[in-house]
Structure 1
Amino acid sequence: MKSLSDLRLFVRTAHAGSLSAAARQLDTTAAAASASLKRLERSLGAALFVRSTRSLRLTREGETFLRHCEQALQALDEGCEAIAGGSDAVRGTLLLTAPSDLGRNALRTWMDEFQSRHPGLRLRLRPTDRRSDLYREPVDVALRYGLPADSTLVALPLAPANRRVLCASPAWLARSGPLHHPRELADRNALCFVLGDEVHDQWRFTGPEGECIVDVRGDRVSDDGDVVRRWALDGHGVACKSALDIADDLLAGRLVALCPEWRAEPTPLHLVCADRRQLSPAIRELRVFLEAKCAERLSALAEVAPQAV
C-alpha cells in the first residue's frame, strides 16, 4: 500500500508545479519531499514527472496516476468527514483570504460567530488585497469582489447585488460642500485604490441621464482598501467603496453616501476556490453563513444608502 503522505505530496506537487512549493504547503523540507516522490516512483516503477532545473511537468503515467490519486484521496476525506458526522463535520483548519477592508472589519467578527457554532474549526484568516494564486498557495478558499479572470476557478456568489458607494465624511463635506452630480468629482480630491496593477481612477455611475464615467484625481493612492476607507473617515477626500466594506460607517454616520440618484458600478462578492472537490462541509457551511450575513448587512443600508442595494 502506498503511503498516504507520499500520495498527498504527489498531488500537491502536480497542482503547484513545484516540489519546493508543495513542501512548503505541507510543512516539510524540500529534501523530505524529494525523497517521498522518489519513493513513490520507485514503488510504481514509473517516472511521474519530467524534471529540469526550472520546470516540473507530469509524464503521461503521472497524468493517469494523478486522476486516480485525487479520486482516492477525495473518497478517503469524505469517509473521514462522514464518520465525524453532525456539526462536528465542520472541523480541521480553514485558510481563508479576503479583501483587506472586509476581512479586518466585518469578516473578523463574523468568523467569531461561525467558530462559536463550530468549535472544532481552526481558522487562518489572511486579509489582503493581493490576489492569491489558489493553485500554488496553500489557500482553501478566497473571498473576492468581481468574477475571477480565470474561468477555471469555482466562484460561488455571496452578495451578487453588492455595488460600490460614493462616500465621504461629514467633516470633508462641511469643508468642500455637497456633491450633486458625479461630474463634480473632477474638481474634488479622490481617494483611489489599486486594482491589480492599475490605479482605479475611472469611476462609473448609472443614473437619470444614463451612464456617467468620470476620470478622478487625488493626492492619495493605496493598494490596501482598508487604508482608503480610513482616509475617507479622516476627511481627506471622497471614496468609492464597496457597500459591504462601509456599511457600519454609513449606518453610524461616520461616512455619508453621496449623489443618491446615481449608482456606482457593481462589485459582487464571491467565494472562490480552485476545484469544486475542495467544497468541504466547512466551506459549504461557511458559504451559507456568509451569504446570510452579507444579505443582512446590505438590507440594513436600504434607508441610509438606497443606491447601495
Structure 2
Amino acid sequence: MIRLDDVQLFVQTVDAGSFSAAARLNGVTPAMASNAVQRLERELNVRLFVRSTRSMRLSDDGERYLPHARAMLASVAEGTRSLAEGRGEITGLLRLAVPSDLGRNVLLPWLDAFQAEHPGITLQLRVSDRTADLHRHPIDAAVRYGVLEDSSLVAQPLLPDNRRVACASPDYVARHGAPAHPDDLREHNCLCFVLGELVHDRWTFALPQGSCTIKVTGNRVSDDGEVTHRWGLAGHGVIYKSRADIAHDLATGRLVDLFPGLGELAPLSLVSAHRTQLTPAVQRLKEFLRERLARDVA
C-alpha cells in the first residue's frame, strides 16, 4: 500500500533537489528520506529517480508520476481544509514569499500575529529579493511590488497607491544639504539596489509637468533591499525605497522624505500562480495585510 508520507517526501525531494534537503524539511535523516522514496518505488514497481554518485534526476516514470503525486497531496490537503472550514477554522500549510526588507522589518511581526489568530496554519516563509517563479516553485502566494509583467498571475491589491520615496537620514542632509529638485540627485551619493544583473540606478519621479527619470550614481550597491535601507539609516547616502518599507522611519524622523508625493507608484500586491491557490488562508491573509498596511503605512 502506498504511504502518503512517502509520496510527500518524493515531491519534496524533487522540489528541494536532494534527499538531504527534503530530509531537513521533515526533520528526518537523509537515509530515511531515501528509504521512503525507495519504498514508493517498490510499491509502484518503477524507478522514480536516476541516481549516480554525483547527481540525481527524475526518470521518465518519475516525470509521469510527479503531477499525480502533487494532485494526490493537494486533494488530501483540500479535504482537510474543507473539514476545518466546516468547523469555522483555517488550517493547513501556507507557503509565502516576501521581499527581504519588507519581510524582515514589517511583515514578520504581523505574520506572528496572523498565526496567533489562526494557530492551525503552518507557515513556510521564503524571504528573498529574488523573484520566485510561482509556476515552478511550491509557493501559494508572494508579496510583490510593481505592475505584474506576467498576465497569467492572479494579483490581489494590498496597497495600490504605495509610492517610492527618495530619502536620507537627518545626519546626511545636515552634512550634504537637501536636494531641491530630483535633478540635484546627480550631485548626491545615491545607494542603489541591484536585482540579478540589473542595477536600479534610474529613479523616476512624478513631477507636475510630467514624469522625470534621473540617472543616479553612488559608492554602494546591494542585491538586498534591507542592506540599502540600513546604509540610508546610517547616513551613507540617499536611498529610493518603498514607503511600505520605511513608513516607521519617516514617522519617527530617522529618515527624511526629500520629495514628498513625487516618487513613482510601486503598488503592493499578493500574487498567486492561479485561482485554485486562493484558499481561505490566502484570502484571510490578504484581508489581514490590507488592514495593517492601511493602518500603518497609507
Into which bin does the TM-score normalised by the smaller protein fall?
Answer: 0.7 to 0.9
Gaps spanning 5+ residues in structure 2: where?
Answer: none
The corresponding residue for 2:58 is: 57
**Partner residue of 1:295?**
294
1:144 matched to 2:144:
yes
Q: Summarize the Cα distance change of 1:27–1:281 in structure 2 as closer, same or farther, 3 Å threshold.
A: farther
Q: Does the CA contact (< 8 Å) of 1:153 and 1:272 recur in 2?
A: yes
Change (3 A) 1:113 1:276: same
Could you say which residue in structure 1 is the equivalent of 2:27?
A: 27
- 1:253 counterpart = 2:287: no
- Contact 1:250/1:257, CA 8 A, preserved across alignment: yes
Letter in 2 for 1:221: V
SS at structure 1 position matched to 2:161: coil
Does 2:71 match 1:68? no
Q: Which runs of 5+ in 1 are unaligned?
A: 300-309
1:270 — aligned with what? Answer: 269
User: What aligned pairs does 1:1-309 form with structure 2 within 5 A after superposition?
Assistant: 1-16=1-16, 18-51=18-51, 53-59=54-60, 61-85=61-85, 89-91=89-91, 94=94, 96-121=96-121, 123=123, 127-131=127-131, 141-146=141-146, 156-260=156-260, 262-264=262-264, 266-272=265-271, 279-299=278-298
**Is the Cα–Cα contact under 8 Å of residues 16 and 135 in structure 1 kept in the other structure?**
no
The CA distance in 2 between the partners of 1:224 and 1:14, in whole Å, is 28
Kindly tell me: are residues 65 and 129 of structure 1, through their superposed partners in 2, closer, same or farther at Cα, counting changes over 3 Å? closer
Distance in 1, Cα, partners of 2:193 & 2:103: 16
Q: How many residues align?
A: 297
Alignment deviations for residues 90-114 of structure 1 (CA, whole Å, 9 cap, x no partner): 3456564432322232213322432
Q: What is the aligned-residue identity percentage?
A: 51
AA in 2 matched with 1:218: G
What's the RMSD between the two structures over aligned residues? 3.4
- Structure 1 residue identity aligned to 2:84: A
How far off its partner does 1:254 sit? 2.9
1:275 Cα deviation (Å)? 6.5
Separation (CA, whole Å) in 1 of partners of 2:186 and 2:215: 7
Instruction: Map Cα deviations across residues 225-266 of structure 1 (whole Å, 9 max, x no partner).
Output: 2332233233332211101011122233332222346333x3
Instruction: Work out the CA distance in 2 between the residues paired with 1:69 and 1:261.
Output: 50
Q: Identify if the C-alpha distance between structure 1 residues 244 and 186 changes in structure 2 by more than 3 Å, giving closer, same or farther.
A: same
Cα shift readout 1:272-305 (whole Å, capped 9, x = no counterpart): 4567655543333212211222233443xxxxxx
Letter in 1 for 2:55: R
Measure how far apart 1:127 and its partner are: 4.5
Are the aligned partners of 2:167 and 2:256 in contact in 1 as well (CA < 8 Å)?
yes
| Contact 2:167-2:240 at 8 Å conserved across structures | yes
Once the two structures are TM-superposed, the CA of residue 184 in structure 1 deviates from its matched residue by: 0.7
User: Residue 193 of structure 2 aligns to a residue in which SS?
Assistant: strand
Which deviates more, 117-126 or 198-207?
117-126
- The normalised TM-score by structure 2 is 0.80
Secondary structure in structure 1 of the residue aligned to 2:28: coil
